[in-house]
Homo-oligomer: A and B are copies of this chain.
Amino acid sequence: MSHNSFGHLFRFTSWGESHGPALGCVVDGCPPGLPLSEGDIQPFLDRRRPGTSRFTTQRQEPDQVEILSGTYEGLTTGTPISLLIRNVDQRSKDYAQVAQAYRPGHADYAYDAKYGHRDPRGGGRSSARETAARVAAGAVARAVLGADITISAYLVELGGDAIARANFVSAEIGRNPFFCPDAAAAARWETALDAARKSGSSLGAIVEVTAEGVPAGWGAPVYHKLDSQLAAAMMGINAVKGVEIGDGFAAARLRGEQNADAMRPGPDGRPAFLANHAGGTAGGISTGQPVVVRLALKPTSSILTPVDTITRAGEASEIITRGRHDPCVGIRAAPVAEAMMALVLADMKLQQRAQTGR
């Protein structure tokens, strides 16, 4: 049982606080002989990196990753891969008030209730800065999955304003600061998020992440379903309050015959499905269809609007969260969700090979 580890056979353990000297992770169980260098990891960190637009925190972190172990002559050796990212732009003085009064929506009170002693600077361990470690580990997971599996995350809703599926253009995802596949929606979001930011508020978002090329048969029954592992992975991302697979909550409003993903003989000997309401899983096991997951992210809790709270001493107070924050944490969650998808699937791939030899 490891609170800070994720995965079973492909497994990583993360460490580090928002304002400590560094953060990182140790990836264990990686197959040997895979090409891996910092250059394979850095592009994913760069996508998650703060400070790249006015819609993310202005904290300037280069997030340069160092591989400290587990490779030799550019190939993985099968031993633990230690990844290190230095923190360079801490401004801990911003957090003096946080040490004394709890920020509603943040983990401050819960951590104090649990541990009695916490690092209040930037939220310490509860900061979304930890997700850099996940993204780095996720890049290693992609090396395990190989080129046949493609993973993509993007925002489908921001501040309650959804994309039009008819406008979906994959290439748009990289062209705006919102990982938005609908250019028209991206334009609207820019206006909305600017307004929220200027008024000291914040907005929520819905991220969709898909994996194509996953073969049928990954996952396992009952308590280790692909669905369960994805739900745990995504619900564990900071600010996520909901996860759905395939049609998700909408499936609860369908009738049995509407929800059935009918099957026909496919051209390659594998079944052709006539629909994908299930989002690529049945009985907790992949069907060969695209795996489709959506996650709901609450609006950033760090806002400049004052909120009622109490101090550590239990006295009534009011708090404004200064410091540098994302006006919509959902945006940078997209590369994190991709990483978590890759991490779950890499683990499942090794498990499937272990039990069945396939």
A22 at the interface (CB under 8 A from B): yes
- Name 21 A/B residue pairs within 8 A (Cβ), A-sorted: A17-B69, A29-B355, A77-B124, A78-B114, A79-B124, A79-B125, A79-B221, A109-B271, A113-B287, A196-B255, A202-B255, A227-B240, A229-B232, A232-B235, A241-B247, A242-B248, A249-B249, A256-B305, A257-B303, A259-B301, A262-B307
Complex contacts, A236 vs chain B, CB 8 Å = 222-223, 225, 227-228, 231, 284
Q: How many residues of A contact B (CB 8 A)?
A: 155
The interface residues of chain A, by DSSP majority, are classed as mixed
The digit string for A346-358, where 1 denotes a CB below 8 A from any CB of B, is: 0000111111110
| 3 shortest interchain CB distances as A-B pairs | A107-B283, A242-B244, A354-B354
Q: Which residue of B lies closest to A340 (CB)?
A: B223
Q: Which residue of B lies closest to A32 (CB)?
A: B115
Q: Which residue of B lies closest to A33 (CB)?
A: B117
When the two chains form their complex, are residues B117 and A252 in contact, meaning their CB atoms are under 8 A apart?
Answer: no
A3 at the interface (CB under 8 A from B): yes
Do A222 and B298 contact each other (CB < 8 Å), given the known contacts A114-B352, A115-B78, A252-B206? Answer: no
Which of B119, B221, B269, B316 is in CB contact (< 8 Å) with A3? B221
Complex contacts, A14 vs chain B, CB 8 Å = 80, 222-223
When the two chains form their complex, are residues A13 and B28 in contact, meaning their CB atoms are under 8 A apart?
Answer: yes
Binds B, one of A40-48, A166-174, A181-189, A274-282: A274-282
Q: Which residue of B lies closest to A104 (CB)?
A: B260
